[in-house]
Amino acid sequence: MASRFGTVLVGGGSGFIGSALSKVLRTAGYDVITVSRKPGVWQITWEDLASDGLPDNCVAVVSLAGQNILDPRRRWTPGFKQNVWASRVNTTKSLADAIQNTKTPPEVFATISGVGYYKPCQETEYTENSSGGDHDFLAELCRKWESAGNLPPELPVRRVIVRSGVVLGRHGGMIQQMFWPFYLGFGGPISSGTQYLPWIHLDDIVGIFFHAISNGHVSGILNGVAPQVITNSDFTKAFSRAMWRPAIIPVPKFALNLAFDKERAVIMTEGQKVVPKRTLEVGYKYKYPDIQSACKNLARLIYVDQM
């Protein structure tokens, strides 16, 4: 039986953010179909999408696919960079093509991008209106990723782009990698710790996408960051305090440059001061607006998802 609210198609719906968003959408009464590299239940492949188009009664399309950039097992080779690029730009383009080829377009097309769009800087405060997208590989990727989702203006589809900061959740991303080192007392700041850390709790990045899908007035670019601007050192203090552990062993910049290559290590060694001006203006209410409440939630040893 078709759901009351219709179907949401989520590219990358099997991932860290996508699976959390799918759970919230299903709880709210939507059907959710994932687009994946593998077939499965409530799942279609990218090839199925290209041949069969959007599913029936598709009210929203979301783009959340992407090869993990900070996979420590993968060297930053031209081949891997191509993978990182294509897994974002081509998947978003495939979703946009499917929307253009359907007779019954969805109400909204929401895609993720990153705050890497903005040039790392200690002085400038970036809002959604700030310029960027051209200073390095990751910025250019964000710009191309965003424009891959462009639709002809005559199509009656709301277009939303969420420029996300580092997503903090227990079952993926940065926290999953650092939970046990911090728990065992080996945590510490990255480099000097003075670089900004644009961040957001998983529940809030999911909340922003849900807000965009379910509210007809939301469109345009939204910064997917928490309202509280912090540095890496602020995060280290908040997370170690929430765990009742010391965190005094710094991770040197040169070690990260060596392990990850400088071009992608910038995600950790440098940062941008990003504020969610439009996100607040469109009425999104944060569950975790400050790093203390987010870390208190994330530091518990036994973690049960509350969404």
Given the rule CB under 6 A, which residues bind ligand NAP? 12, 14-18, 36-38, 64-68, 83, 87-88, 91, 112, 114, 164, 166-167, 172-173
**Least distance (Å) from ligand NAP to the CB of residue 216?**
24
6: left (phi over 0), alpha (psi -120 to 50) or beta: left
Closer to ligand NAP by CB, 84 or 243: give it. 84
**Least distance (Å) from ligand NAP to the CB of residue 166?**
5
Closer to ligand NAP by CB, 185 or 303: give it. 303
Strand segments (E) across 37-143: 43-45, 58-63, 108-114, 125-126
**Least distance (Å) from ligand NAP to the CB of residue 123?**
23
The span from the CA of 195 to the CA of 84, in Å, is 25
92, 149 Cβ separation under 8 angstroms: yes
The span from the CA of 121 to the CA of 106, in Å, is 38
**Least distance (Å) from ligand NAP to the CB of residue 69?**
6
Tokens of 124: 């400038």
Contacts of 266 (CB under 8 A, 6+ apart): 116, 120, 136, 138
**Least distance (Å) from ligand NAP to the CB of residue 93?**
12
Compute and round to an integer the Cα radius of gyration of the chain.
19
**Least distance (Å) from ligand NAP to the CB of residue 228?**
17
Task: Give, in order, the Cα–Cα distances in Å from 247 to each of 98, 130, 186, 295.
Answer: 48, 34, 6, 14
Closer to ligand NAP by CB, 142 or 299: give it. 142
Q: How many residues does the chain have?
A: 307
